[in-house]
Every structure is written in C-alpha cells, then in structure tokens.
Structure 1
Amino acid sequence: MTATAKTVDKGSEGSGGDGHNENSVAPGDPLLSVRGLTIDLPGDPGQRGLVEDVSFDLHRKRSLALIGESGCGKSLTAMAILRLLPPAMSLRAGSVVFDGVDLARASERRLRRLRGGPVGIVFQEPMSSLNPTATVGDQIAEARQIHFGERRATALAKAAELLDRVGIPNAKQRVKAYPHELSGGMQQRVMIAAGIACNPKLIIADEPTTALDVTIQAEILELLRDLQRDLDLAVMLVTHDLGVVADFCDDVVVMYAGHVVERTSIDGLFYQPRHPYSSALLAAVPQVGNPRTRLNVIPGRVPPAGRFPAGCRFQPRCAHDAGGPCAQPQKETEFADGHTTRCCRVADGSLTLEGVARA
C-alpha cells in the first residue's frame, strides 16, 4: 500500500442554520455534504446507531451510489437527508448541508419548500408510491402547483411535457391515466417526471430499476443519464445492483450494517477496493463468459439492528479477520487519493485487496 493514510476528520463542516444564505456556497463546494449522520430507534428496548457516523459529499452534476446488501442502511440514509424517516426513528447527530442549508436543523417549513422542489425524489416501487385514486397528470402537476403556484390547467400542460420528455408516448392522453393503467416501466418514468417537475438540483433515486427487466432497466438509466446532462442534475442512486453502479455512477459509498465502510470513485471500487466487504461484493458478482464456475458468496448475513458487533461490524463474515485489531471499533481512514476505508488492516498496510476489472 503506497498511498498515505490518515484518520478522517469528522467535524460537522459547513453546517448552515435555517437562515443560512443559500448563495454563499463556492462553486467548487459539494452540493450535498453529509457529516456524522446517526439515526436511532428510541424505545424500550431502543436500538441506537441503526445508521451511525455516515459521511460523504455529492458534487454538482455528478452521480453517487449508496450500495450494500439489504438492511445496511442505504434507504434510511437517503430518506434522512430530507428528514423523511419513519415517525419512530430520530436523527441523533450529524449535519446534512444541501446548497448551504443544514437540513438536519432546518424548520419544517423550509423542508417543505425543498422536498419536491430543489430536491426531487424517486421512491422505490412506483406502484406503491403513486396514488391509485389520482391520475398521473395530477400527481405530477401537484408539485408545480405547490412550489410555483401554477393553476391546475397550466400545471397539467407542463405534466404532459414532462411525460413526453421521459419517453411516454401519447403524453397528452396519458396525463389522464391512472397508475394501474400503465406498465411498470411507464410507472417508473412517471415517478422520474414527478421528481424533475420543479427543476431540481438533486435527484434522490431509491432503487429506480428494481423489479424491471434488463431492457427497461437500461432505458431508465439512459433516461436518467440524459436528464442529468440536460438539466445539470446531481443524482444520488440507492441500489444493490453493481452493474447499474458501474454503468451510471461517478462515485460510490459502500455501506455495511449502518456504517460507511468505503468511499471512492467507481474506478477505485472496481479496480482497487480497500475494504474486505467491498472486495467480497465484487467477487460475488457472476462473471459473463465464465460458465459453470462456482459463485462466490459472503457467509452469514447482515446482523440485525441492535445486534451489531462491538468492533468491526463485518468481522464475523470477513475472510481476512485478524482477531484482536478487528475486534476493536474501526475508524474511517482516508488515503492520499481521497479513497477512504473503515478497516484497520488496510489502513496499516497489512492487507491489500484485489479489484475486479469492469467489462
């Protein structure tokens, strides 16, 4: 390991309050900066640290993926950005600075102006997220009526334009359709149209290609790529599909059991992973052109919240477990190239991992 490593400073930098000047952010600063995000589930018994000490940056016009197995805290992290957590959960610590405003401390009124406006959201499973009793046109138009004060007729005309922009044929007629009258791929396009309805700077897309066949997945990713280019969007993509990540994203945050275990560029992840969990995820991806080969698996499963190991949370499943040092709480370490990892063995140079080249 030739890169110099240092412990990451987790100070809550850039945390503007509710009255912070949104125009004070320098052009080179991140559009979204998350520092030390920690989510608890209070109660008896309570579960502390469902998501703990999560930090990352997302810059303008770039795409960032949150990856990991189910139960690692990806969706909770994404929903915490706009404080859309389930009522029982609480944001215990951290800052979430979007365009100079700390959303973790912003008023509910300020958040309502941001949700669906400067920050668009594409939720999981459009059939569950769309209102079955309202037409898709009204559901898209609603955001423009709220944020821009447009009249219903004007907003519906814009909704038809948006449906056409996301590739839905006969858009002027489709605005009158109900969700159940559309295919899964079209429903996902409606969700994307709603997400971009108010000219956002950031789109948070939670598993936007889940349950779609590979052809429709490719079309949705191409649509997001075109919109990102045309609208100068930053995109946060929550997914467990490494193929989607490799095809679409610039940067990646690997999460395991509520911790960020690695932050890097896409090339850094695929060619030089620096956490055993990231390496294990890559090894578990089936390789095209190698039939009848044994598929690698990660033994065990993600520990449930409240039962996380005291040391490295990946230790019970790790093929590189070294006992003593791995049984201690792990600090996030940053290398000279900006790549970070939460593994003491990689940080001290005693463990080097191999990547898997992208096709």
Structure 2
Amino acid sequence: MIDTAGAASPRTDRDAGDSALLDVRGLSIDLVGDEQQRGLVEDVSFQVGRRRSVALIGESGCGKSLTAFALLGLLSRATRVSGGSALFEGVDLLTAAPQQLARIRGGPIGAIFQDPMTSLDPTMKVGDQIAESRRLHLGESRKTARKHAERLLDQVGIANAPERARSYPHELSGGMQQRVMIASAIACDCKLLIADEPTTALDVTIQAQILELLADLQRGLGLAVLLVTHDLGVVADFCDDIVVMYAGHVVERNSVDEAFARPRHPYTKALLGAVPEGREARAKLPTIPGRVPPAGSFPEGCRFQPRCEFAVAACGEPQREVEIEPGRHTRCGRVAHDLLQLEARGGTHDESSART
C-alpha cells in the first residue's frame, strides 16, 4: 500500500460532487478500418463533480487516453465512438456538432497533455498562442488578449512574464512549456481541466511543482479536474475520487481514501500492492503476472481473469458494474456475490474486502 500519511488529504465533503459537471455513461469506442475491433473501450461510466479531482488510472493500454480523447473530440480516424453519452452542462460531447465542440474545447473545457512541445505551435510565440485562444473564444482585441496572456503566465509561476511571452516554445524548459500549456488551458474561463499524463515527460522535481500548481489553480479557480495517470503517488496527493480502468473496462469507482484503504476489485488491489513506497530495502516487489491483452484478444467474462489470483470459474461469465456501497462501484461478480452472502448472514463489507 502507499503511505499517504505525509500526503495532502483529499477533500471529504461530498457537496462538491452533488451536481456532476461531467457525466459519462456507457461510453464505447471501436477500432474501424481494415482491422476492425469492437470494445477498445466498452461501457465506461463515471462522473466528475464540480470542483473535484478525479483520477483515471490503469496500466498502459487500458483505454485511459482513448476515453479522454473521445471527450475532447480528438479521436483518430481509426477509432470511433460507438455508444454512450458524455454530458457537460447539458451538452453531449460525443454527439455535439464540430462547431459547438470547438467552442467548448479550449473554453469551459481545457486540456493539457504529457508532451507540451508537441502541443505548442513551434512557429508562434507563447504569448500569442495564449492570446489567440482568448480572441477566438472571448472576442477580445489583440492588445487586451495579449495583456491577459501575460497575466496568465504570471499566474502559472513564470517569472518576467512580459518577456517570456515573446519567447518561442523551444526557448523554454520542459517545465516552463507545461506551465504555458496550463495557462492556455485555463485562459478562457475553464471549468473542467482534462490532464493526460501532464507530468510524465518531466523530472521528479518539476513534476512536484506542476502538481502543486494544478492543486493551487483548482482551489483558486474552483476547477474540476480529470487526471489521466498511472502514478498512484500522484493520485494520493492530488485526487478526490478514482476510476480504475483495465482493458477498456471500468473495474472500480471509489473515493481515493476508500480505494486505497479497501480496494474493491482485485486489479486495484494488485496495483496498490505493486507500489514500492514504504517497502524495506531490497525487498522483493510484488508484480502482476502477464500483461494487458491487446484489443481483439480480450478474454470472455472478466478481462482481468487470466491475471487474477482470486479468479474462479464464475469469472468466465459476463461481468457487470454494480454499486456495492453508496458511491462505490466494482465490475467483479465475485466481490458482489460475497457481499450479498455477507449481508444475508449479517456480516460487514470489511470482511469481504479482506477476502479479496
């Protein structure tokens, strides 16, 4: 388990989540073209409450980034949304007209990605890139937008902002480039920030600074954040809620505190068990056998079954996501069955968690 004693405690008030800012239900994505495959992402549902931070986690190949790109309308031509909805302030992002989605993306929904150098235009000064967003979305004049761009650069911690606004992306360090991306993402009254591995390309020290900046901005601006990551340490420090994905399925939805203390799906338990923090020096690190199956090779029933130490014959049957406690969901028929049996005998949920 991760030692979170020194980490910033996630907020526990559920008032912020009473009204979901983003409500994703049944999202499914298929591979199209010559190598058609169904269910790259299948029946994915989760919510992001106002002013809350939600982590979307799992190993590489589990569908996290595909999910985020679908919400932003940035899927490649080789993939398409085949079902579901994603309501953001009454607008379904999955079926919105391109013009409507363009107004939302870069406006009330901002995005930052793991490699800022590939997201920034190398031919434009960074101040002009931020100002362009305000001119397009808010209708500001060139002069006014430029002043706001400089203010935003200062807000994200870039010293001597007026001078840096005249720099090209290649003249800035990786950490400063990511700060420019954050400034651009929040430039137009952002309400929801989608961050896809925003610290992966940065060294550890800069990672901590960027995460601290995001936390400060979230508190100061009242942002909701959907953080795509595989780093459970980042989740412990930054997020309120967690959505665990495996092979295109959501296998657990929970609060961060509850998921770390009592993981409800064997995959979540295995991920937490493989984290090195808090272990003795030279101690053998637990691993999850095998690897995430590629699309087209998903097993029947539970997709985690071949790697699960708790698998039984019933795991070969189709699994559905069930709410086992208020606000806590799992896609594990074995856990759901055990809970029903315990409740029938007057047992507690903690007993079932100990068995998993």
Question: TM-score w.r.t. structure 2 length?
Answer: 0.89
Equivalence for 1:173: 163
Identity of aligned residues (%): 65
Q: 1:228 — aligned with what?
A: 218
Compute the displacement of 1:152 (Å): 1.9
Q: Distance in 1 between matches of 2:52 and 2:225?
A: 6
CA deviations 1:71-122 (Å, max 9, x no partner) are 1000110111122111221111000000111122221111111010010011
Does 332-341 or 156-165 show the bigger shift? 332-341
Residue 5 of structure 2 is aligned to residue 40 of structure 1: no
Q: Distance in 2 between matches of 1:41 and 1:202?
A: 27
Q: Deviations over 1:188-209 (max 9, x none)?
A: 1111000000011100001111
Are 2:301 and 1:337 aligned?
A: no
Q: Which amino acid aligns with 1:328?
A: E
1 CA distance for matches of 2:146 and 2:305? 53
Residues 319/302 of structure 1: CA separation in 2 closer, same or farther (3 Å cut): same
Deviates most, 296-305 or 207-216: 207-216
- SS at 1:95 equivalent: strand
Does structure 2 retain, via aligned residues, the 8 Å contact 1:201–1:232? yes
From 140, 153, 162, give the equivalent of 1:163.
153
Worse-superposed segment, 199-208 or 209-218 = 209-218
**2:6 is equivalent to residue 54 of structure 1:** no
Deviates more, 1:232-241 or 1:305-314: 305-314
Cα distance in structure 1, aligned partners of 2:58 and 2:353: 18
- The yes-or-no answer on 1:328 pairing with 2:320 is no
Q: For 1:1-359, list aligned pairs within 5 A.
A: 28-288=18-278, 290-322=280-312, 324-349=313-338, 352-353=352-353
Letter aligned with residue 299 of structure 2: P
Deviation at 1:353, TM superposition (A): 4.1
Structure 1 equivalent of residue 11 of structure 2: none
TM-superposition CA deviations, 1:136-156 (whole Å, max 9, x none): 111111110100111222211
Amino acid at match of 1:309: P
1:279–1:353: 8 Å Cα contact kept in structure 2? no
CA distance in 2 between counterparts of 1:337 and 1:314 reads 24
Which stretch of the first structure deviates more once superposed, 333-342 or 264-273? 333-342
Flag as ranges the 4+ runs of structure 1 deviating above 3 A.
350-355
Unaligned 5+ runs, structure 2: 1-15, 340-350
CA distance in 2, matches of 1:45, 1:214: 39
Structure 1 distance, partners of 2:94, 2:309, is 37
In 2, Cα distance between equivalents of 1:353 and 1:156: 55
Aligned to 1:18: none
Could you tell which deviates more after superposition, 30-39 or 103-112? 103-112
User: How many correspondences in the alignment?
Assistant: 329
Matched residue of 1:252: which SS? Answer: strand
CA-based RMSD: 1.6
Tell me if structure 2 keeps the 8 A contact 1:276–1:353. Answer: no
1:188 partner amino acid: Q
Deviation per CA, 1:256-306: give whole Å up to 9, x if none. Answer: 000000000001110010111000000000023521110111111111111
Q: Write the letter of the residue equivalent to 2:338.
A: G
Q: Report if aligned partners of 1:116, 1:143 keep a CA contact under 8 Å in 2.
A: yes
Whole-angstrom distance in 1 between the partners of 2:223 and 2:167: 28
- Tell me the TM-score normalised to structure 1 length: 0.89
Query: Shift of residue 354 of structure 1?
Result: 5.0
State the Cα distance separating 1:27 from its structure 2 match: 9.2
| Cα separation, 2, equivalents of 1:308 and 1:28 | 35
Structure 1 unmatched ranges of 5 or more: 1-25
Contact 2:114 2:201 in 1 (8 A): no
